[in-house]
Amino acid sequence: MLVSGKDTSGASAAENEQRFVGKSIDVPKANSHAKRMPTAPANLFLEGNFAPLRHEFNLAKTRQFEIRGKVPRDLNGSFYRNGPNPQFEPGPFYHWFLGDGMLHAFHLQRGEVSYLNRYVATPTLELERRAGRNLFLGQRTNMLANLQLVGGNLISLISGLIRDKNADAYTRLIAKANTSVLAFREELFALVESSPPIRLQPTTLASEGFEKFDAGFMAPFTAHPKTDPQTGYLYAFGYRVAGGPRLEYYVINPHGKLVSRTAVETDYAAMIHDFAITRNYAVVPVFPAVTSLASIRRGRIAEWQPEKGASVIVMNKDGDTASLRRFELPVGYVYHYANAYEDGKAIVVDAIRYERVPLMGSDTEIRAELFEQANNGYLTRFRIDLASGKTETQVLHSEHYAEFPVIDPRLVGEKYEHSFAASASGNNSSAAGIFDGQVSYELSRGKVKADIHDFPRGHFGGEPIFVPTGKPGERKGYLLNLIYSTEDNRSYLAVFDVAKPDKKPLCEIWLPHRVPYGFHGTWRQHRN
């Protein structure tokens, strides 16, 4: 089988300057790209299916896939998945969160399938291609002193430090765009929380530059913005590692214009990965994962400092600072929120909560968290009483470690009953993968029912994506999960009937190669 692409792992600087012209090559034999890079030190995030994939593929015809089962003809759209994928060998302090972004796309139309993957063309990616080597990842260097990386942006960087007391110009230079992908309006964006979004062509994944939201925008921007399904407005925030303001809250109208930008001070510089919205409020929890330039140079975005306490910021969704209130929370950490909604004079927020921030320790500590269940995340409910100022925390389900919760996107900010997440049983003791199943939660009348579907042994997935086909709130549609098989050393897109989460997939779309473990995806429905 022939695919279109080019391997850049050993390419010269001149070759790396070119943009993958689509020459046909054979699929790499024995999947050699699954092995750890030859000179890399022991590092979990460079091993097995965490290791990078250096090829960009084009699979344009259904016959180029191995399809088990039948692709539903009413599944018409594109499934996107983003993740870190360093193009060059990183330094000894490399962390999973720091790799170059790579987008994978499955385009589905009336039973036909095509696939491609592309690096996100960030300034860092292009600069490193010209240099022919890694300039930033895990090097423990003084980032501001790395003139190769700063280059012609040195003047704007210095002026930003003097004028605004922050390094927003630098966020564009270190934009890895490796965490999430957003379909907003008719456009597609690759996201990482340190930097502005990068706009992509939805079909070809060609990078089209930073999104300015018709307002000259240049600042950190969360990987988890929220689209209000009722109004079409997009809500987001950005936090800063250094300089001020430490936190900003953004409102973008349905036409893609930034209409509100609110500065919010926090008690310390916190890594705030996600937030939630309700019909009337924005809810931004602040947990004591404290971030700094020094911690990033050590290969960790944040350091756990529980003595600093935790809180949640609640304000009107339009960004009115006069409405801002703060409430205390028990110390813990949340990467991802399932949803939030208003219940009388209270706000209910559902999330995956940890006792402490995970993935920020040593390699040994991270392995224990991921493969020995040392710091599990569980579905947890926060209840914020706006009248009394009190907060309550309740673990809803703790049978399996869970992450990446998702819901019907048409119910964001509204009361809901169904959520889906990746799950880990703890039965796989090797470091081959983390999530060996997925869980479907039914939340109604204060009770939680969990249907857990375990994948075949040696198969590991990630964040499921719910594609609804019924009315909002109905458990009708498809659940999509990108799964890696250790035995085959390949990945496949599994399509499940969401009403039968414990059954086998309706179909499996197998690639001739693997897809490294990544983070978040989305579904973009095709217009008829």
Binding-site residues from annotation: 224, 273, 336, 520
Q: Write the CB contacts of 407 (distance below 8 Å, at least 6 apart in sequence).
A: 338, 339, 416, 418, 419, 420, 466
In sequence order, what E strands does 170-240 have?
Answer: 180-184, 187-191, 198-200, 207-210, 226-227, 234-239
What's the chain's length in residues? 528
Return binding residues for Fe cation: 224, 273, 336, 520
* Beta bridge mates, 184: 187
Distance CA 225, CA 276 (A): 9
Number of other CB atoms surrounding residue 346 within 10 Å: 16
The C-alpha atoms of residue 351 and residue 380 are separated, in whole angstroms, by 5
Q: For residue 323, what are the contacts with CB-CB under 8 A and spacing of at least 6?
A: 315, 316
Residues sharing a CB contact under 8 Å with residue 199, sequence separation 6 or more, in sequence order: 187, 188, 189, 207, 208, 209, 210, 211
Nearest to 345 by CA among 417, 278, 444: 278
CA distance 217 to 271: 21
| DSSP assigned state of 296 | H
Q: Rounded CA gap, 171 and 157, in Å?
A: 10
